Amino acid sequence: MDTRQWMAMLLFLAAALMAFISFLSYRKRHLPVAKTMILTMLAAACYAAGYAFELISRNLGEVKLSLQIEYLGIPFVTPLWLLMLLQFTGVAGRYRKRLALALFVVPAAVFLLHLTNDWHHLVYSRYDLNPDASIPLYTTVKGPWYKVHAIYNYAVILCGYSIFIPMYWRALPVVRKQIAVLILGAVVPMLFNLVFWFGIRIDLTPFGFAVSGVAFMWGIFRFNLLRLTPLAQAKVFDTIRDGVVLFDYEDQIVSYNEAAAEALPELGLTKRYPAIAAEVLSGSPELLARIRGAAAGDERFPFHRYQESRNKHYNCSLSFLYDSGTVPIGKILVLNDITELKENEARLRENARQLSELNAFKDKMFTVVAHDIRDPIALLVSLTELLGEELAAAEMAHADVFRELQGQVQNTFHLVENLLDWYRNQKGKVAFHPLGWNLQQVVRQALSLAAAKAGMKQIRMTERIDENFAVSADKEMLDLILRNLLSNAIKYTGKGGAIEVGAEREGERIVVSVRDNGAGVDETTSRMLLQEEPFSKLPDTGDDQGNTRFGLMLTREFVRIHGGSLWFDSVPGNGSTFFFTLPGSAGGRAAYDDGEWEAKTVESHLGGR
């Protein structure tokens, strides 16, 4: 077997090797980069097989036929390599199709020109026989388009290097190995081709492609070439600080970052990657089931485990990775550690529980203390009224002083009453049960309760209310509203003054007015009502004015519960008029007869509710 036959046999083996690499790439054909690898290796196989036929050719016709086989691959190997590089790195993803078309204009022209070379001789000018040399049988004299093609090939290779070399220094270690394999696949054929330009007649470029084929096969089996592109790696590791685990399309773990190793320590126990997820994450079956059962869209789910003597909580996000197409090439699992948030939430809940217990205890104490104060004061009110009548009848000395004392006791009692009403209102414990009531009867009852106090100052109280006016109101709240307004009117009206209660209908509402000719509303109380200050901001004056303001604020709150509003007109020294609105009611009547009124009057007078 002579040298030509040995070289031809080696080239056939190289072509078979590259065809085998195409078969390996075909198994991953759903990936665009794998499809390009198939075409690249087939083109290189045509080059090697065609050159093998050229070496064993016996005449010019067989040489030309062999060249036609070679040119099925020669023009396309280099641009296919660059296209594979672009797909691998994700560069120019938006314009990749247009760039691919532009990239193959010159190779397609070279292929067609060589196919018709006998007509124009633009690729090969002539074929010279080598009588004294067995390899090659004919020496080709290159035409202008051969040189154009050579310059184009080297320009494409340099362009690829300009993309690959900067990327190599920025890439992760596993990606660097893949890049090195792809660079080797282009460097070796180029070096072998350069030898041809230094005067050696034998074209060693196909042998360079054989070396490239071995490198690619080694990269596929050793470094998972074609499994996942650096584009996916960049998306994961360059922009996300949380724990990240990267899977390929076969649910094998390809890579992970340090935060993921902290969340899943078993990742660090595995020495070789890619690793089967079912084996590495066997201790977390719930997480493994989520990864396996992921649908096409992104998924978010919680994950927790006991680790480092504490419960660790994570918010997980599982997303699919795509290249330029619609077929997924892998998955990204992102683990966001929310353990601190969960622990803070638990602490806040515990604090809220303790605060609720303390608040409940405070409420209980407030109720007990308020009632313990209210009942003795109610008894004092009754006793002072009885003693006051006896002193007035006997015309004893110091009767005026006793009446002042009686007034102070009554004011204190009203303050405690208001405090209790306000407290129940703030806690939502004041039941609101609106019924239909005859307004004239309710007002007359309130006037009868205030008559004794008004009589002490010789104040005349009248009502001007249509006997057919009816309102929808809660009786206890309405009594409190009228009681407070009448009490304030009596308090600030001098001896011999007058108080008038009236009402007018305005659409579906009744406007009730309480008018007096007393001193009017002081500036502080007026400003407070106009600004609608909350209870927590009531001014602490330390006098009866504070009790009055508190009663007015409580009155306004109860009016609002009825869906109405409270306002006033006041002229200092000439009296004031308070207005409030209540919803009207059809066919309203009193809920009890006159006998019941008397019983309720006594109970209210003694402070019972």
Structure confidence by residue, pLDDT tens digits, 384-399? 777 766 666 666 656 6
For residue 500, what pLDDT is reported? 94
State the helix-helix crossing angle for 144-170 and 74-89, rounded to 10 degrees. 20
Whether 237 is in a domain gets the answer: yes
413: which 2 tokens?
């009692």
Q: What is the pTM of this model?
A: 0.44
Residue 387 sits in which domain range? 350-425
Q: Are residues 403 and 331 part of one domain?
A: no
Using a pLDDT cut of 70, give the percent of the chain over it. Answer: 70
Among 316-325, 335-344, 530-539, whose mean pLDDT is lowest?
A: 530-539
Rounded to whole angstroms, how far apart are CA atoms 179 and 91?
A: 14
Q: Are residues 77 and 20 part of one domain?
A: yes
pLDDT tens by residue, 115-162: 999 899 899 888 888 776 567 777 788 889 988 988 998 888 888 778
Does pLDDT of 361 surpass 50? Answer: yes
Does pLDDT of 513 surpass 90? Answer: yes
What CA–CA distances, in Å, run from 75 to 43, 113, 146, 151, 210?
9, 11, 10, 12, 17
Whether 604 is in a domain gets the answer: no
CB 163 within 8 A of CB 85: yes
Rg (CA), the chain: 50
Does pLDDT of 590 surpass 50? Answer: no
443: which 2 tokens?
């007002």
pLDDT tens by residue, 236-272: 455 567 888 888 877 888 878 888 888 888 888 887 7
For residue 400, what pLDDT is reported? 66
Q: Are residues 513 and 480 part of one domain?
A: yes
Q: Are residues 459 and 382 part of one domain?
A: no
Helix/strand/coil for 598:
helix
Bridge pairing between strands 509-516 and 498-506: antiparallel
Bridge pairing between strands 460-464 and 328-337: unpaired
Give the residue-averaged pLDDT of 49-70.
Answer: 87
CATH of the domain at 335: 3.30.450.20
- The four Cα atoms 93, 94, 100, 102 give a dihedral, to 10 degrees, of -140
State the pLDDT confidence band at 540, using cuts at 50, 70 and 90: very low
Neighbours of 128 (CB within 10 A): 10
Q: Are residues 219 and 84 part of one domain?
A: yes
Whether 457 is in a domain gets the answer: yes
CB 512 within 8 A of CB 525: no
Q: Are residues 451 and 369 part of one domain?
A: no
Give the residue-averaged pLDDT of 270-280.
Answer: 82
Q: Are residues 456 and 316 part of one domain?
A: no
Whether 402 is in a domain gets the answer: yes
CATH of the domain at 83: 1.20.1070
State the pLDDT confidence band at 509, using cuts at 50, 70 and 90: very high
One-character DSSP codes across 260-296: HHHH-THHHH--SSSEEHHHHTTT-HHHHHHHHT--S
Q: Are residues 415 and 330 part of one domain?
A: no
Rounded to whole angstroms, how far apart are CA atoms 25 and 221?
A: 11
Whether 598 is in a domain gets the answer: no
Does pLDDT of 198 surpass 60? Answer: yes
- Name the residue type at position 482: L
- Name the residue type at position 49: A
Rounded to whole angstroms, how far apart are CA atoms 488 and 516?
A: 10
CATH of the domain at 473: 3.30.565.10
State the pLDDT confidence band at 491, using cuts at 50, 70 and 90: confident
Closest CA to 312 of 321, 300, 303: 303
Give the residue-averaged pLDDT of 512-523.
Answer: 86
Total domains in the fold of the chain: 4
Whether 595 is in a domain gets the answer: no
Average pLDDT, the chain: 77
What sign has the CA pseudo-torsion 171, 177, 181, 184?
positive
The domain boundary residue, chosen from 343, 373, 403: 343
Q: Are residues 496 and 483 part of one domain?
A: yes
What CA–CA distances, in Å, run from 27 to 30, 227, 259, 357?
8, 11, 33, 67
The domain boundary residue, chosen from 304, 326, 343: 343
Strand-by-strand arrangement of the 299-307 sheet: 275-276, 252-256, 243-248, 328-337, 310-322, 299-307
CB 226 within 8 A of CB 87: no
Bridge pairing between strands 498-506 and 460-464: parallel
CB 400 within 8 A of CB 456: no
Rounded to whole angstroms, how far apart are CA atoms 67 and 72?
A: 9
Rounded to whole angstroms, how far apart are CA atoms 515 and 534?
A: 25
Give the residue-averaged pLDDT of 330-345.
Answer: 86
State the burial class of residue 38 (Cβ atoms within 10 Å of its Cβ: 0-12, 13-18, 19+): buried
The domain boundary residue, chosen from 286, 313, 343: 343
For residue 511, what pLDDT is reported? 94
Q: Are residues 387 and 462 part of one domain?
A: no
Rounded to whole angstroms, how far apart are CA atoms 534 and 124?
A: 100
| Beta-bridge mates of residue 320 | 331
Neighbours of 173 (CB within 10 A): 7
Whether 456 is in a domain gets the answer: yes
Whether 462 is in a domain gets the answer: yes
Burial 268-306 (b: 16+ CB within 10 A, else e): eeeeeebeebeebbeeeeebbebbeebeeeebeeebeee
Closest CA to 333 of 276, 255, 280, 274: 255
Rounded to whole angstroms, how far apart are CA atoms 383 and 328?
A: 91
For residue 397, what pLDDT is reported? 59
CB 438 within 8 A of CB 475: no
Rounded to whole angstroms, how far apart are CA atoms 47 and 68?
A: 10
Q: Are residues 134 and 82 part of one domain?
A: yes
Rounded to whole angstroms, how far apart are CA atoms 348 and 343?
A: 9
Q: Are residues 336 and 356 part of one domain?
A: no
pLDDT tens by residue, 423-481: 666 565 556 788 999 999 999 998 988 887 888 788 999 999 999 999 999 888 898 89
Rounded to whole angstroms, how far apart are CA atoms 320 and 316?
A: 13
